[in-house]
Chains A and B, each alone.
Chain A
Amino acid sequence: MTVDDEMEIMGQRLNRKIRALFGRSLSIREVDAGSCNACEVEVNALANPVYDMERFGIHIVASPRHADMLLVTGPVTRNMELALLKTANATPEPKLVVAMGSCACNGGIFGETYASGGGVDRFMPVDVYIPGCPPRPQAVIFGLMVAVDKLEQKIKKSEVKV
């Protein structure tokens, strides 16, 4: 199996899951919390005709108010912290938070300094971590699949409570 085949298989599986869970596309708001921009390049690559993530039911939205998921990149700089928190607050619950890339996972090469906060989970609960610097487009799809699984569990749990 090639990487491309795997992308297809995972994408189709993800698509089925998203349909079953949402009955529509999964809406993602991407937040760059201080990335080096390579993580953004890979998110954008997912929209190119080779990967074309929209066909898997993955949709990037312009506002956090329309989002099911925040996809966060970068080590959360001191100067982006507030904007990230505001964006998270504007996202309706139940939401998913995905930390994409080594920086968002734990600060990565920038670590924890006067300027770098050292990873998204220092500031809000993270549901899924996608490692890589940057993660390849396939890895992002894989991470999204894990995230959707998690959301399914979250919903089930809340239903039990009700």
Chain B
Amino acid sequence: MKNIGKEKALQMLEQMIRVRRFEEGCLKSYQQKFITGFCHTYIGQEAVAVGAMAHLTPTDAYITSYRCHAQGLIGGLTSREVMAEMFGKITGCVRGKGGSMHVFSKKNNYLGGHGIVGGQIPIGLGAAFALKYEEKEGVALTFFGDGASMQGTFHESLNLASLWDVPVIFICENNQYGMGTANDRALANPQVSDFAAAYKMKGYEVDGMNLESSYKAFGEIIADCKKNSRPALVNVTTYRYQGHSVSDAGLYRTKDEVKCWKEKDPINSFYKSMEEQGWIDEEGYKALDKEMKAEVKDALEFAKESPWPPMDELTNHVYA
């Protein structure tokens, strides 16, 4: 905790709570049919993106799958911009054209949320390649799921990254399932970091339920990647509390299993550690939580009141 410091700790706690309350807002709005289509929440996985992205500079880039709301919020998009996108409004971060799975932000170098499992992995590689080509000191964090790590694009990207010394960090958010398939039924080796050795890069195992360890690990990994311009592969152990998407009842896992993971809740455990340091007390936590709830409420109202995309938006942006 000492290495993190009070200010950074508070900021990261706020980010985790923001993401969670935001996702809860999404779930509620989905039930109320304000949000439609697919909707995949990040609840339970907050410490992964928060811990990793805490080390980014404005030069760095990042990219992920359809489970993409958190990275948008952590990277600097407002709750209003992301929520309005969920609602399909013109005020959304991509003008209502992407919805829940396609949060992007050019100004923050967020290369977005992608709907094809594994499809974003070579793009993240390409972003890092561009940084190196232009001699900028930067990395690209490339997030994907455990299910995606069995796609050809994953292996092709690891090979290219290592071959060409590309400063990309492959982050497998190993939340134990690809939809309803437990990863030991899909991955010959669920310890995904093992693939690093095969491609001659560094591999890491990180506890993604604990922000302190995630923050520390990613600090070292990112620094090393920048210093040596070498890729890395990180397998982060984590868990999603909700179904795969809002339409998933989660019948493939037991209530006990979910309960067990929730006991390691990243927000709660980080709050406890902060409390031990005397950086926050219950009152402070409640105030912060209230603030985040109010922010999400405001975002929901903003999204509701925002106009739909005008008809000319339909044919706008087909070609640059």
Please determine whether chains A and B interact with each other in the same assembly.
no
Which residues of B are in contact with A by a Cβ distance under 8 Å?
A: none
